[in-house]
Structure 1
Amino acid sequence: MSAGVLVTLAMALAFAATHIFVGKLRFLDRTPRSKWLSFAGGVAVGYVFMHVLPELGAHAATFETATGFDATLAEGLVYTLALAGLALFYGLERALAASTGQRMEQEGRDRPHHGVFWLHIAASSLLILVITYLLSHREDTSPLGLVLYFAAMLLHFVTADFGSRTDHPELYDAKGRWVLVAATLGGWALGRVVELPEIAIGCLFAFLAGGVMLLVLKEELPENRRSFFLPFLGGAVLYAGLVLAETYHVSA
């Protein structure tokens, strides 16, 4: 294996370890919300604004070239895919909340129905598959860009997995986390053996962008999270500063 392949494999294994061991991070499970989760949320929001949105613009140019559409229509298609990803995950989050509320009323159990939970895990697995595939097929191919992508996604997985486990810890610990691990390693393996056309990668990235935007804001913004603003701001500012430093270094 080349050094680059070993690096992306190590990153995929770190993602997998997050899925497996998030339940062991007891310091995250507290009210008010752990400052570390607020910091992770800030980094993820920084990733959305400093990487995701600019890269959507870059993929719009790919759409324009591949389809022959004019620039405005191509850009609209990219953002429509991002909106579809956001809408899908918003619908799943609402279904989880409705199922949990219904089960609480009927059975006195603060858990969603199994089918709804597994639908959420399936959608999360699809998102994870795309994230790990893109370890090997990203618009920004610089080493620092890869490190920043890895750091942002690792912290995103911490907050997202913590939320999923909170919804149904028994199912998550028994089977759910292993489904996420399989999606993680499967996405990395696909990235090594399958090279999709640029327009397909653009579609995947746009869908990923919408899902990540929704999940980041869902985990950090609700009032009942009782989040911390300063750690959130610190994470966002730190990530933005690193991206600006990378941009300056590349252009210098």
Structure 2
Amino acid sequence: MFYLSLAITIAFMIVHISTNYIKFLDRKPKDRLMSFVSGGSIAYVFLHLVPELTHYQEVAEDAQLPLWLESLDYSTYLLTLLGIAFFYGINQLNEKSKAKNEREENLSQPSRFVFALEIFGFALYNVLIGYLLTDLSGERISDYLIYFVVFSFHFIANNRVLHLTHEDLYTNIGRWVLAISVLLGWLLYHVTETNELTIAFFSAFLTGGIILNILDDELPAEKNSSYPSFIAGLIFITVLLQIIL
């Protein structure tokens, strides 16, 4: 599956680079699309990633950990909470910086420092997605395809928010950093030694980040969201997972 995983990594890079040029994201039906995407993403997280946390916790309990880690109950779940807290903190800094600039300088964008911090956070996020591609996808082509579909929609949703927030900074710098970070994660997986514990901890942290970003970025505002589209996306991914997994 080496070449398949490489092909999907390159496809993810293309998604990052080309999201700005997907014109239908600027049209009215985008809210129905975003609702569909968020429903599918949530189904994937809670039917595939979250159930894996039980396995990852068992891996952590069987591993030789430092004493301070062994004394913690549910260490992988704590890492999931850390992932949620980490990305929530970045989102809060982003919102506060944007509000400050609007109030004091009549600018609609956050500061460059916050932009750099947010891109760093999502670059880390993408490194983990690239790194975990092979382990989270399994050993079948169908598993890789659903991984690609779910995370491509997820990337498009996140990229759209980043572009609307940071505009030219994201277009000129951010999207290229995110594209390269996926490849970097894939390369790290293939050139370094990995083990079940590393996969468990990285996956737990990533799961928390995905949950936060879905709820924060992918669900459209209540007045613009489409509940039928949300349910359709949820059912679509649920059925696919039931067939494939």
Query: Under a length normalisation based on structure 1, what TM-score does the superposition of the two structures give?
Result: 0.89
Which position in structure 2 is the counterpart of 1:206?
204
Aligned residue identity for 2:91: E
Question: Cα gap change, 1:48/1:234 in structure 2, threshold over 3 Å: closer, same or farther?
Answer: same
Aligned residue identity for 2:95: A
Alpha-carbon contact 1:31-1:226 (below 8 Å) kept: no
Q: Counterparts of 1:1-252 in structure 2 under 5 Å?
A: 4-30=1-27, 33-67=30-64, 76-138=74-136, 140-221=138-219, 223=221, 226-247=224-245
Distance 1:223 1:119 in 2: 25
Question: Cα gap change, 1:225/1:143 in structure 2, threshold over 3 Å: closer, same or farther?
Answer: farther
Give the CA deviation at 1:32. Answer: 7.1
Aligned residue identity for 1:113: S
Give the CA deviation at 1:218. Answer: 0.6
The SS at the match of 2:134 is coil
Which position in structure 2 is the counterpart of 1:250?
none
1:78-129 per-position Cα deviation (integer Å, ceiling 9, x unaligned) = 1100000000000100110110010001111110001001100001000100
Alpha-carbon contact 1:32-1:225 (below 8 Å) kept: no
Alpha-carbon contact 2:137-2:147 (below 8 Å) kept: no
Distance 1:33 1:106 in 2: 32
* RMSD over aligned Cα atoms: 2.1
Q: Identify unmatched segments of 5+ residues in structure 1.
A: 248-252
The SS at the match of 1:87 is helix
Comparing 82-91 with 230-239, greater Cα deviation is found at 230-239
Count the aligned residue pairs: 242
Distance 1:220 1:157 in 2: 10
Alpha-carbon contact 1:61-1:74 (below 8 Å) kept: no
Alpha-carbon contact 1:99-1:116 (below 8 Å) kept: yes
Alpha-carbon contact 1:60-1:75 (below 8 Å) kept: no
Question: Cα gap change, 1:225/1:191 in structure 2, threshold over 3 Å: closer, same or farther?
Answer: farther
Question: Cα gap change, 1:75/1:12 in structure 2, threshold over 3 Å: closer, same or farther?
Answer: farther
Aligned residue identity for 2:128: V
Alpha-carbon contact 1:41-1:216 (below 8 Å) kept: yes
Alpha-carbon contact 1:64-1:74 (below 8 Å) kept: no
The SS at the match of 2:110 is coil
Alpha-carbon contact 2:35-2:220 (below 8 Å) kept: no
Give the CA deviation at 1:67. Answer: 3.7
Give the CA deviation at 1:53. Answer: 0.8
The ranges of structure 1 where at least 4 consecutive aligned residues each deviate by more than 6 angstroms after the TM superposition are 72-75
